[in-house]
Structures are given as structure tokens and as C-alpha cells.
Chain A
Amino acid sequence: MTHAPARLRAGPVVAAVVLLAAGCGAGGTADAGPATPTPSARAPEVAAATPAPRAPAPPALTPVTDAPTAPRRLRPVRLRVPAIGVDAPVTELGIDRRGRIEVPDVAADAGWLRTTPAPGERGPAVVAGHLDSDTGPAVFYRLAALDVGDAVIVTRRDGTTARFTVDGVRTYPQDRFPTRTVYGPVPGPALRLVTCGGDYDAARGGYQANVVVYAS
């Protein structure tokens, strides 16, 4: 793919960076999902009604953090969506202190949420990208134009690729984002591409919806 010249210039850099961090839905909308952002590794209830003759080995519980779950070699580095001309680097995203998904710093980058499986491994790999910057289109500007059957190819750090086909495209109001559907368990390799959509209402935090592309 050819690269277009940089759209975000030096002048509005401060504003652009700030806005990239604010983006759609930053206006404190309610959450539809039940996600708990800061659970602690709670001790399990010891359910024994009678004592065991010997002390059972205690479970080693996994703390809940936004640490990467996939081996480094399998993490994504590039995303291609030929039908809409996307060929973009993939960065890594975490979950911020408010429990929200981080977004890429750069309008042209896509970002993989590191608490989701690596693309090509079992489960829903979630990749977010901007619809637009404050001055023009960004990496997922045409995401909603994808059709069932379109190809999405992810290159991983070790050079292997994971290939997906689009199963469906959905638009959800920001205040009814289906966390369980997007991030919930999947039996095999799956991919979700996420960007903004709906009305842009600056007084209500920007774009009012999210577009989600489901692929497997």
C-alpha cells in the first residue's frame, strides 16, 4: 500500500494528541457491559465442610490486570484489510485507570488490546482504530463499509499470518456497547475490529456509537 502524506501537522499537534486521547464516547456515557475494571484476586471460598486429613495445596490465583496474555511472538504487528485499503501497523493497547480501552496515539495505527488473545489463537482478538483525527480520516475510516466475506489479514511478530473473513458488521450506541458479545469467550480464533460511528456530538463526548466488525 502506498502511504499518504501525514495529515496531522505540527501546528495542531497538541490539540490532536489531546483529542486522540479523548475521542468518541468520552463524555461519561453509561456502560452496558458488566466488566469490572479493578477486581482483586479474591481468595476462593474454602468450601470444605469437614477438614481434610492433610492440608490441600492452595490454588495459585491469577491476579486480574491488563498484562498481556499472549506470548510475545504471537502478538500482532500489522493489519491488512484489502477491501477498504487498510495496511496499518498494530500497536498494543491496555486498559486505562477508568477501566476503558486505550486508543492508539497515532491516527494511522490500529491497536490490539493485550488482554485479548493474539489474533489467530483461540478467542476474540480485539483491534481498535480511529475513525478520524481532528483533521481527516484515520485508519478505520471505512470500516463500516466492510461486507460479509471480506478478508482481514493479521501479521504477527514471528512473521506468521492469521487470516479471517468478515462475519458481520454492527453499530451500537456508545451507552449500550455489548461488552459480553465483543469480549466474551469464543471457541476458535476470532477477530473484532472496533471504531467509532453514529452521530458526532461534541457536547456529548464526540461520536455516539461504535462500529464493530466481527470476523473469524
Chain B
Amino acid sequence: MTRHLPARRTIVPAALALAALTVLLIGLSVAGGARADVDRTAASPAAAPATATPGSAAPSAAPSAAPSAAPSAPSAGPRKRPRSTPPGKAWVRAGHFVPGMGAARIDLLPVGGDPMSMTEGDGVTYGDTSVYRTLPPGGYTATVSAIGSATGAAPLLSRSFEVTPGAARTIAVVGTAEEPRLVLLTDDLTPPDAGAARVRLLAAASSTDTVTVTALGGPVLAQDTTLGQTTGYATVPAGSWSLRLESPQLAASDSDAVVLAGGSVYTVVVLDDQRGGVRLEVVTDAAGATLAPRGGARTGLGGTAAVHR
């Protein structure tokens, strides 16, 4: 029943020879054939344990500054309904977005579980975003501690939150060094429109009061956003974009080209650079199909239909 490997030797040449014919005859399978009663119900959902998966680091682009003036522009519109989420694990990462604050350790305590670290070794420093970890859905408490603080010492910041299957959160330390805050960002996995990416902005620079960022020739990503704020996601046609950054304190500047892939979701982080200016870091939140097909897959011919039961 389960032996189902090669039909290759006979089918391949025929497939090649008949490719054109095949196109013509698509859909003819509706004529006649065995009737079957198939019941293949889904297995249980369930929270799978977090396991190792092949990793991929968060890519980044580091645009440079080039002074010029900039236009203003209207904001992007709201998003459509979110999708249903896939079964399984939740995705959680951590980031340090507080200028002037030293390296930090970010830990997670699952409700009823053992603590785990989101930040390996030396912790995260300003501008760092960790890769996502997969975690069982449920309740967690995130804590932020200064690197080098005594084990068991009270954390600087602490916050409890819930994660649901298939959802993504970013544990973000934001604000100022004097008054850091721990926020749980929801990384929205709603698919972009075909041929588009979705981009939000996180303002984390202290060298300016507010920032406005525009995709040159496209939408405004953030308008007068202040330190510690995160915008909603704007829709941007997929492609290579220069981002213009304007602020009250600094000359406007255009970034190097940033590639925004269709079907993907990004966070642009505005950071202090080391020369009293600002720089942009593009962090990938999630990647999807660049083009999704319509409907399901036509992956069965009915040859076993009579025996499914």
C-alpha cells in the first residue's frame, strides 16, 4: 500500500513528448472515473516542542547619508484582515533599541518552565536584533538585565506576555537610557499584496526629536515618529528603494538602495550613528512567497480512491 516510488522510467519520456498535449487536455479528467469516499481528517494541532531549525541571520542594509532636501507625503493606508495562523510554534526575538544604554541580557521565563536566554554570550548591544527562536505557545515573562549584574539580582525591566501558535513577537527595549521601557511588539505576518512588501519603522535615535522616512518615489513609512515609537506597516512595491530621512535637527539624507522583496515584511530601525547623525538598519521580520498560486494543488488522480477508507 505504501510502496509508491518510481514511475520515472516510463513516465518521463512520455511526459516530455506529450507536454503540449497535456496542456490541451487539462481538465478532461472530470469525465468519468471511480467514485470514492475519502476521509483524511487532520491530525491534532498541538504545541510542538521547540527544536533546532536551520538558521538564517537577520540581514541588514546599512545605508549611508547623502544630504538633500525632501518632499512630504501622505501616509499609507490601513491593512486588510489578518490571515489565520498556521499551527505550531510561536516566533520570538529580542532587540536593544536604547541609545546610551549598555549591553543587556534578555531572558525568558515560561510559565511553569525553566528560564532561557534570548541573548547569547555578551548579550545585545544598541542596535542589535536577535534571530527568532521558536517557542511553544503560552505565557512568558521577559526580563532585561544589565550585562554583568549578579545572578539572581532583580532585573531592570520585566513584562509578561502571551504568544499564540504561528504568531511573532519582538521583545524590544526602547526609550532612553534614563528611562528604558520593555515593549512587546507584534510582528504582523499578514501577507503583503502581490508584488509588494510591508515595512514599518522603529525610531531609536536620540540625535533627533522626530523622524520622517519616505521611500523615494513611493510611500511615507513614518511621519514625525519619536524615539521609542514604532509605526504601523506600510505597503511598498517590491524592488530596490532609497529611503529619505528627515528630521528637525539634521539635514535630510537619502539611503543607499535597500532591497524589499515581494511577500516579505521588514522593520526599518533608525539608529544614532557614531558621528552625531543617524543611520537606518533594515531588519527582516518575515519572508513569504514572492508570488502565491491561486487555490490548492491538483495532486491526485484517484488511482487509490477506492481503497481509502
Please classify the interface of chain B as helix (H, G, I), strand (E, B), loop, or mixed, using the class held by over half of its residues.
loop
CA distance A122 to B238 in the complex (A): 17
Residues of B within 8 A of A7 (CB): 4, 7
Residue B207 CB within 8 A of the other chain: no
Known A-B contacts A48-B71, A187-B168, A214-B88; A132 and B217 likewise in contact (beta carbons under 8 Å): no
- A1-44 interface (Cβ within 8 A of B): 1, 3-10, 13-14, 16-37, 39, 41-42, 44
* Stretch from B20-28, B120-128, B270-278 forming part of the interface with A: B20-28
CA distance A2 to B288 in the complex (A): 35
Q: How far is the CB of A119 from chain B (nearest CB, A)?
A: 8
Residue interface bits B249-264, CB-to-A below 8 A is 1, else 0: 0000010010001111
Residue from A3, A13, A149, A207 within 8 A of B48 (CB atoms) = A149
Residue B304 CB within 8 A of the other chain: yes
Residue from A8, A23, A58, A178 within 8 A of B300 (CB atoms) = A23
CA distance A183 to B30 in the complex (A): 28
Question: Are A196 and B299 touching (Cβ within 8 A)?
Answer: yes
CA distance A65 to B240 in the complex (A): 16
- B154-203 interface (Cβ within 8 A of A): 165, 168, 187, 189-195
Q: How far is the CB of A153 from chain B (nearest CB, A)?
A: 11
Residues of B within 8 A of A64 (CB): 194-195, 238, 262, 290-291
Q: How far is the CB of B303 from chain A (nearest CB, A)?
A: 4
Residues of B within 8 A of A3 (CB): 5-6
B302: nearest residue on chain A (CB-CB)?
A200
Question: Are B56 and A105 touching (Cβ within 8 A)?
Answer: no
- B75-102 interface (Cβ within 8 A of A): 83-89, 91, 93
Q: How far is the CB of B35 from chain A (nearest CB, A)?
A: 7
Residue B150 CB within 8 A of the other chain: no
Question: Are A130 and B30 touching (Cβ within 8 A)?
Answer: no
Q: How far is the CB of A111 from chain B (nearest CB, A)?
A: 9
CA distance A129 to B288 in the complex (A): 20
Question: Are B86 and A16 touching (Cβ within 8 A)?
Answer: no
Residue from A35, A137, A146, A185 within 8 A of B285 (CB atoms) = A185
Known A-B contacts A6-B9, A59-B217, A198-B38; A49 and B72 likewise in contact (beta carbons under 8 Å): yes
Question: Are A177 and B68 touching (Cβ within 8 A)?
Answer: no
Residue A76 CB within 8 A of the other chain: no
Residue interface bits B10-44, CB-to-A below 8 A is 1, else 0: 11101100100111011111111111111011111
Question: Are A200 and B36 touching (Cβ within 8 A)?
Answer: yes
A88: nearest residue on chain B (CB-CB)?
B5
A151: nearest residue on chain B (CB-CB)?
B51
CA distance A9 to B285 in the complex (A): 48
Residue from A24, A53, A142 within 8 A of B298 (CB atoms) = A24
Q: How large is the interface on B (under 10, 10 to 19, 20 to 34, 35 or more residues)?
A: 35 or more
Please classify the interface of chain A as helix (H, G, I), strand (E, B), loop, or mixed, using the class held by over half of its residues.
loop
CA distance A16 to B8 in the complex (A): 12
- A193-208 interface (Cβ within 8 A of B): 194-207
Residues of A within 8 A of B5 (CB): 1, 3-4, 87-88, 108, 139
Question: Are B288 and A184 touching (Cβ within 8 A)?
Answer: yes
Question: Are A25 and B298 touching (Cβ within 8 A)?
Answer: yes
CA distance A136 to B132 in the complex (A): 42
Q: How far is the CB of A38 from chain B (nearest CB, A)?
A: 9
Residue from B4, B239, B265 within 8 A of A62 (CB atoms) = B239
Question: Are A183 and B289 touching (Cβ within 8 A)?
Answer: yes
Question: Are B296 and A46 touching (Cβ within 8 A)?
Answer: no
Residues of B within 8 A of A28 (CB): 27
Question: Are B300 and A196 touching (Cβ within 8 A)?
Answer: yes
Residue B148 CB within 8 A of the other chain: no
Listed residue (A5, A95, A179, A195) with the most chain B CB atoms within 10 angstroms of its CB: A179
CA distance A215 to B25 in the complex (A): 35
Residue from A9, A147, A196 within 8 A of B10 (CB atoms) = A9
CA distance A78 to B190 in the complex (A): 30
Listed residue (A21, A100, A165, A197) with the most chain B CB atoms within 10 angstroms of its CB: A21
Known A-B contacts A52-B71, A133-B301; A39 and B86 likewise in contact (beta carbons under 8 Å): no
Return 26 A-B CB contacts under 8 Å, by A number.
Answer: A4-B6, A5-B6, A8-B10, A26-B26, A31-B294, A47-B73, A48-B72, A50-B71, A60-B240, A84-B2, A103-B299, A105-B12, A126-B289, A130-B299, A132-B4, A133-B301, A134-B301, A137-B4, A174-B296, A184-B288, A185-B288, A187-B286, A194-B297, A207-B299, A207-B305, A214-B87
Instruction: Give A contacts to B, CB under 8 Å.
Output: 1, 3-10, 13-14, 16-37, 39, 41-42, 44-54, 56-62, 64-66, 69, 84-85, 87-88, 95, 98-101, 103, 105-109, 113, 115-117, 120-124, 126, 128-142, 144, 146-149, 162-172, 174-175, 177-190, 194-207, 209-211, 214-216
Known A136-B304, A167-B48; 5 more pairs at CB < 8 Å? A18-B18, A18-B29, A60-B239, A126-B289, A133-B301
